[in-house]
Amino acid sequence: MDMSPGTIRPKLTARGVNVFYGDAQALNRVDLDIRAHEVTALIGPSGCGKSTFLRCLNRMNDLIEICRVDGDIRLDGEDIYDPAVNLVYLRARIGMVFQKPNPFPKSIYDNVAYGPKIHGLARSRADMDETVASSLERAGLWEEVKDRLDAPATGLSGGQQQRLCIARAIAVRPEVILMDEPCSSLDPIATARIEALMDELRQNFTIVIVTHSMQQAARVSQRTAFFHLGDLVEVGDTDTVFTQPVDPRTESYISGRIG
Amino acid sequence: MAQAVAAAERVERSSLLAAPEGRRARQVLGERILLGLLAASSLVAILTTIGIALSLLFETLRFLDAVPLFDFLFGLNWSPQIAIREDQVGSSGAFGVVPLLVGTGLIAAVAMTVAGPLGLFSAIFLAEYASPRARSFAKPILEILAGIPTVVYGFFAVLVVAPFVRDSSEAAGFEVSSESALAAGVVMGVMIVPIVSSIADDVISAVPQSLREGAYGLGATKSETVRDIVLPAALPGIGGALLLGVSRAIGETMIVVMAAGLSAQLTVNPLQAVTTITVQMVALLTGDQEFDSPKTLAAFALGLLLFIATLILNLIALMLVRRYQERYD
């Protein structure tokens, strides 16, 4: 199989994506490919549109009444904005982890079991136990919580809660995981754990992460896309973007002159 | 040179501590008067509350001289009417409060059967489903419902709902009295809907958006999100909203005075006439009464009972709502 970048079929493709909040345009004709089994980092200063773009990918922007998205976004070639698309299936295939850990006010077990339950993924209690255990294991949380699965999830520390949210997303067996600044409320140790986790997870999943931290983007991602004022300025291999940026705006940002 | 200027300024500024005498004194006096006025106002309210509670307590103690506490709290027979005139045969009277408690509870239960689901469902609609336009239209109307004088609800109960309950029950072959717990309870329930819906709406709206997004992000539908995530998260607060509704139901007077009847029957059949604590208090104190007979003193005992019951309900309800809000702020 030819592995040169031009011929890999991307997992997600975005073409000419415009996003408006009311009359204000938040994204301007964005074209971006997300490759499978890679971590793609979206970076840029606040308000540049990186989170907005992320939330287009699982149609989370649908929840915002004044938000309008046009352009073409495809998952494995299927148009996700087709009116016939069932959001339940779309979001089962593209999971999401949020900026602030948002465990449901339920037990640790029920948090992880919720997704599989609503999608009917477990045939029996034993099956569900297995799904919960393996999801927690892959999220690196199993050893810490295996003896207290019935304890409320809100009692976990921030870092544990975020790993629980990752386990919750994994449990649905998505193909893509979107992460919206997943470490912004965590301390450096919890952040390091989640970054290590991302590298393991990309064996099985395609990951798109929005991050404020350029060091984080450099550490975890294979590809980096730099957004500025609603434009996708530059996208490329992370090493290249950070060492030989093409656009002067990218160069300014990564050297700390803007943002 | 510069140092000398700085030193001079420092001397000037030390006048902060030694303002001209007269101005300083005026300021202090003004502050004190304002403080006194504000404190006195709140003191009036507090003293009034304490005064009312104490007078209830003392009159109740006088009542308990005539009627033993045990007979009052656990007696199954309420007929204070017997004791109106001293020359009347059997003027002793019976002051067992159980029939009143059962009547009050029955009407409150009917009211909450109406107000619970209606209030909760309209709160869910307002908080989760209504468009901003529908919300801006429906919420004020619900609040108008809360502003209707209860005597108007009373009319409505007597003139519309009670005849309707009687006619339709008789058509269905049930024995029914013209003043039924059902009619009073249903109308009271309608009155309580805005109380439940408004508090439940606040509580549901306070569930963080991040929890909803978490559920949507997993592919949950709107109804799954509301049922599985939002409502369980809001449950303690919803419990508080319902308890405030119950508290309002047992304290409500006008509707039951007009629609519930006077006879103290010990029944849980909502088609029968029952009486409530508030109705009996009104009945005991209406007209010229001596204020030292057990009959009138009984009203204070009932009042104290009601006061304690609603106080406890309100405290629990507020605790639930507040603890819930703390969790998500």
Whether residue B100 sits in one domain with residue B21: no
Whether residue B192 sits in one domain with residue B124: yes
Contacting residues of B for A115, CB less than 8 Å apart: 218-219
Q: Do B216 and A63 touch (CB under 8 A)?
A: yes
Whether residue B107 sits in one domain with residue B53: no
Q: What is the pLDDT of residue B83?
A: 46
Residue pair A45/A253 in contact by the 8 Å Cβ criterion: yes
Q: Do A118 and B233 touch (CB under 8 A)?
A: no
Residue pair B199/B241 in contact by the 8 Å Cβ criterion: yes
Which range is most confident: A86-95, A189-198, B94-103? A86-95
Residues 6+ apart with CB under 8 A from B295: B80, B83, B84, B93, B284, B289
Q: What is the pLDDT of residue B329?
A: 54
Query: Is the pLDDT confidence value at A2 over 50?
Result: no
> Is B301 part of a structural domain of the chain?
yes
Number of domains in chain B: 2
How far apart (Å, rounded) are the C-alpha atoms in residues B79 and B95? 6
Three-class SS state of A177: strand
Q: Do A63 and B213 touch (CB under 8 A)?
A: yes
> Is B47 part of a structural domain of the chain?
yes
How far apart (Å, rounded) are the C-alpha atoms in residues A18 and B54? 70
Q: At what angle do helices A158-170 and B209-217 cross, to 10 degrees?
A: 30
Residue bearing tokens 């010229």: B288
- CB of A114 within 8 Å of a chain B CB? The answer is yes
Residue of B nearest to A57 (CA): B217
Which tens digits make up the pLDDT trace of B250-295?
Answer: 999 899 988 887 778 888 888 888 889 999 998 888 877 676 778 8
Residue pair A14/A208 in contact by the 8 Å Cβ criterion: no
Whether residue B247 sits in one domain with residue B147: yes
Whether residue B149 sits in one domain with residue B29: no
How far apart (Å, rounded) are the C-alpha atoms in residues A102 and B217? 11
With CA atoms as reference, report the closest residue to B274 among B209, B150, B212, B188: B188
- CB of A166 within 8 Å of a chain B CB? The answer is no
> Is B41 part of a structural domain of the chain?
yes
- pLDDT mean across residues, chain B: 86
Phi, psi of A207 (to 5 degrees): -120, 135
How far apart (Å, rounded) are the C-alpha atoms in residues B28 and B12? 22
Q: At what angle do helices A108-118 and A158-170 cross, to 10 degrees?
A: 20
Q: Do B218 and A91 touch (CB under 8 A)?
A: yes
Work out the pLDDT band at B310, boundaries 50, 70, 90. very high
Q: Do B219 and A102 touch (CB under 8 A)?
A: no
Which tens digits make up the pLDDT trace of B167-223?
Answer: 888 888 887 777 888 999 999 999 999 999 999 999 999 999 999 999 999 999 999
Domain range for B197 is 94-328
> Is B21 part of a structural domain of the chain?
yes
> Is B307 part of a structural domain of the chain?
yes
Whether residue B153 sits in one domain with residue B34: no
Backbone angle region of A27, left / alpha / beta, with phi > 0 → left and psi within -120 to 50 → alpha: beta
Return the CATH number at B203.
Answer: 1.10.3720.10
Record the tokens describing residue B119, joined without a space. Answer: 């209030």
Whether residue B113 sits in one domain with residue B34: no
Whether residue B249 sits in one domain with residue B112: yes
Whether residue B134 sits in one domain with residue B59: no
Which tens digits make up the pLDDT trace of A125-166?
Answer: 999 999 999 999 989 999 999 999 999 999 999 999 999 999
Query: Is the pLDDT confidence value at B92 over 80?
Result: no
Which domains, from first to last, does chain A contain? 10-102+177-254 (3.40.50.300)
> Is B9 part of a structural domain of the chain?
yes
Distance from CA of B233 to the nearest CA of A (A): 6
Residue from the list A58, A87, A102 with its beta carbon closest to the beta carbon of B214: A102
Interface predicted TM-score (ipTM) of this complex, two decimals? 0.91
Whether residue B173 sits in one domain with residue B322: yes
Whether residue B160 sits in one domain with residue B208: yes
Distance from CA of A168 to the nearest CA of B (A): 8
